[in-house]
A and B are shown apart, each in its own frame.
Chain A
Amino acid sequence: AQSVSQHNHHVILSEAASLELGCNYSYGGTVNLFWYVQYPGQHLQLLLKYFSGDPLVKGIKGFEAEFIKSKFSFNLRKPSVQWSDTAEYFCAVKPYTGGFKTIFGAGTRLFVKA
């Protein structure tokens, strides 16, 4: 079955530290890739997405992600986190074929200490 794995369930960083959240998926075909963010008490919103082209994609608030096809990975990065980045981050994969379902990872809770 198709699945999405997020390696870290909880991450604690100090402000200005660099962030990398891992995401791997199990699907051999073409995929659309997403990172969503859920700030405390808010609903999920799109952080960035990859459909095709440059495997390094930039999103809002200084986030970026790199698609490495050979590793089935789509890791999220930010060079310097802020307290306001405290949130839960979800990686999601939409296989190009096989219906309309998007598969979400379990999420990574990030806490940034001021």
Chain B
Amino acid sequence: NAGVTQTPKFRVLKTGQSMTLLCAQDMNHEYMYWYRQDPGMGLRLIHYSVGEGTTAKGEVPDGYNVSRLKKQNFLLGLESAAPSQTSVYFCASSSSSGKYEQYFGPGTRLTVT
């Protein structure tokens, strides 16, 4: 049981490049989330999904897109990276039966130059 995994762990992009972050969970959770973590700001919700094929905007969705084609996967895309998107990105999942306790992945450290 791997829990929540994220790939890649590190990435450096140039301004304007695109990339996709992959999150996978093997706990059959309904809900999945993408957060960014910046110093002094805690975790801010980018997008989330309440089930396969559904996504919704969080607190800071601009510049990001997501897709949830399979229940176990939640993809975060950056179409045209900007230096302001330099951050650590965490994926999380939770189930309704688990009272929304979230399980987090190890994070992806992204630097945009």
Contact = CB atoms under 8 A, between A and B. Distances in A.
Chains A and B are bound partners: yes
Interface of A: 4, 6, 9, 32, 34, 36, 42-46, 49, 51, 90, 94, 100-102, 104-107
Contacts of B105: 43
Given A36-B102, A43-B105, A100-B100, 17 more contacts: A6-B42, A9-B40, A32-B100, A43-B104, A44-B43, A44-B102, A45-B104, A46-B101, A49-B101, A94-B100, A100-B48, A100-B50, A101-B58, A101-B59, A102-B102, A105-B42, A107-B40
Contact of B104 (A44, A51, A107): A44
Interface of B: 31, 35, 40-45, 48, 50, 58-59, 90, 92, 99-102, 104-107
Q: Count chain A CB atoms within 10 A of each CB in B41, B100, B104 and give the residue with the most.
A: B100
Contacts of B106: 42-43
5 contacts: A9-B40, A43-B104, A44-B90, A100-B50, A105-B42
A9 B58 CA distance: 24
Nearest to B58: A101
Contacts of A34: 101-102
B46 to A, nearest CB: 11
Top 9 closest pairs, chain A to chain B, by CB: A106-B42, A104-B43, A44-B104, A104-B42, A43-B104, A43-B106, A94-B100, A107-B42, A51-B99
Contact of A102 (B40, B41, B90, B100): B100
B68 to A, nearest CB: 13
Nearest to B6: A43
Contacts of B92: 44
Contacts of B44: 104
A104 B35 CA distance: 10
B112 to A, nearest CB: 22
A101 B48 contact: yes
A104 B44 CA distance: 7
B104 A90 contact: no
Contacts of A105: 42
